[in-house]
Amino acid sequence: MKNYERVNTVPQADIKNKKAYLVGGGIGSLASAAFLIRDGHMPAKNIHILEESNVFGGSMDGAGNAEEGYIARGGRELESRMECLYDLFGFIPSLTSPDRTVLDEFRELNIAEPIKSHCRLVENKGQKADFSTLGLELEDIISLNKLVLAHDDEIGAATCEQWFKPHFFETNFWYFWRSMFAFENWHSVLEVKRYMVRFMHLIGGMNQLDGILHTEYNQYDSLILPLITWLKKQGVVMELGVQVIDMDIKITEDEKTVERIYIKRKGHEEVIETTENDLVFVTNGSMTENSTLGDTHTPALLNRNQKERGCWSLWENIAKQSPDFGHPEVFAGDIDKTKWLSFTVTITDNTSVFDHLLDLTGDEPGMGGVVTIKDSSWLMSWVTPKQPHFINQPENVQVMWAYGLFPDKVGDFVNKKMSDCTGAELFTELLYHMGLGDKVDEILPSCKVIPCMMPYITSQFMPRKKGDRPEVIPNGCTNLAFLGQFAEIPNDCVFTVEYSVRSAIMAVYGLLKLDKEVPPVYEGQYDVRVLLNAVKTMLGNREISIDRMIGKLLFNTGIIK
């Protein structure tokens, strides 16, 4: 957004009489409430956030304590071109310094403690693997180039394994890619294209995570908590334990209008009557719906319940009323292709693991990012975040996080499927691959390990076609908008916080018809410097002429034969 577009909006004449109902308490709804207040000038008391669970924040979670163990199901990677995200946190006050913003403190942290990994890959029980290049051959580069240049309709519902040759999946590029974004071979190659285009400016630093940013604490404490604190202070009505079951949507030839919302509050069914003057925002689908937790001695059991799955069930009910509302079964119809397992480790009065990892990687906690184990049957990766990772974390406690993409495979040290393992068994397998297999009996007594099985964690990457995700404001909708990872936003990437916040701005500005531009998606692919740096990196950082770079980039694309 140019500074010329950074205008203060004019309140609508009837804004004080409007009400807004936001279904789901994740970042999409929270951001929508914030923009309704700042740009829509809606009275905060007229904004109602309805969340089924007992905590706000959705997938951006963080909970627990030192005695029972901490838990964070995952974390979103951040970078400097997330314009909607930083627009939001540029006006949310810091919890520690109310005269400063969350963005102020976030930027200062990353200037003082930038991520630059010195160990992205390990193998052979704790040995560094070569991560100096992406390991791409010319055939792989040509396939990537064709993908970037292909039209979305041409790609359609093709999968990664249908687009790329087998060698591609053995390259460092793919190890880096899938450990950062959790892609599987059977996922949508169209989403790979979007990532390639959207984050082309980061490809040059991909092997060291150069350009990736981090928060002071877990993302709940660092981002969600300041946001909900501000919203509550403004007077937003925020309700927990309220399940939205269905909606009546009046559909005519030209318009679609939500007329009532069916909810269940404290076990009792109720109806919220709405008018075309009110606004309804729905988070349709969730990557962490029906997640289950285990503990140090108990596995996290997979929840396959197809009838009771929160926002997925709501989306199914809404989608029955019009094809414009998308097709949830495309994303949530095959749990075995969308699930994986993560686990959070809480270590008390024992620094041996972190000491070992500092020697192995050369990276202080929080400054190295994700490390992937190339020869892990579970394809595990781990992160040692900045400590403390939780606001209430004692000094004698350290917290780390890990996950595996292949939960149905048997371990290399622990002879069980990952999905059947207790927290202790999961950490045992990880210690083996870190080179600490002989120290397991010394380390485990000081640890609490909480596994989390997530049936839909990569559902947003499932192969899809146009129309499977509804538009943020579907055709003809007068008072309904969709938020989050399963709404269609041209050119941006799912599995990012930015995507959800962008959907919030689009929904608020669109439904209120505000005279203000949504911050555009960064388009580094049109910067020749970004293009040439990306090509140079893919070619192994060889010093070659610009003419040869462009020739390699365009070879066999129809532009150059």
Q: Which of these ranges, 214-223, 270-279, 349-358, 530-539, has the smallest mean pLDDT?
A: 530-539
Is it the case that residue 476 has pLDDT exceeding 80?
yes
The pLDDT tens digits of the residues spanning 12-61 come to: 889 999 999 999 999 999 999 999 999 999 999 999 999 999 999 999 99
Among the options 51, 52, 77, 105, which is catalytic? 77
Task: For domain 340-454, give its CATH number from 3.30.1240.10, 3.90.1280.20, 3.30.70.20, 3.30.9.80.
Answer: 3.30.9.80
Domain ranges of the chain: 3-79+218-291+302-329+460-511, 128-208+527-554, 340-454
What does the pLDDT read at residue 185? 96
Supply the DSSP symbol for 408: T
Of 19, 6, 63, 74, whose CA–CA distance to 453 is shortest? Answer: 74
Band the pLDDT of 531: cuts 50, 70, 90: confident
What does the pLDDT read at residue 534? 87
Contact 510, 280 (CB under 8 A): no
Is it the case that residue 436 has pLDDT exceeding 60?
yes
The pLDDT tens digits of the residues spanning 232-254 come to: 999 999 999 999 999 999 999 99
Is it the case that residue 561 has pLDDT exceeding 70?
no
Q: What DSSP letter does each residue of 136-157 carry, written as one string?
A: --HHHHHHHHHHHHS-HHHHTT
Band the pLDDT of 555: cuts 50, 70, 90: low
Active site residue 195: yes
Please compute the mean of the pLDDT values over residues 288-304 and round it to a whole number: 97
Comparing 431 with 98, which gets the higher pLDDT? 431
Please compute the mean of the pLDDT values over residues 387-413 and round it to a whole number: 97
Q: What are phi and psi of 453, to 5 degrees?
A: -100, 125
Task: For domain 3-79+218-291+302-329+460-511, give its CATH number from 3.50.50.60, 3.40.50.720, 3.40.1160.10, 1.10.10.10.
Answer: 3.50.50.60
Please compute the mean of the pLDDT values over residues 98-108 and round it to a whole number: 97
Is it the case that residue 456 has pLDDT exceeding 60?
yes
CB within 8 A of 440, min separation 6: which ones?
428, 431, 432
What does the pLDDT read at residue 272? 98
Band the pLDDT of 549: cuts 50, 70, 90: low
Among the options 21, 70, 86, 195, which is catalytic? 195
Q: What's the 3-state SS for 266-287?
A: CCEEEEEECCCCCEEEEECCCC
Supply the DSSP symbol for 132: S
Q: Is the peptide bond before 43 cis (omega within 30 degrees of 0)?
A: no
What does the pLDDT read at residue 544? 54
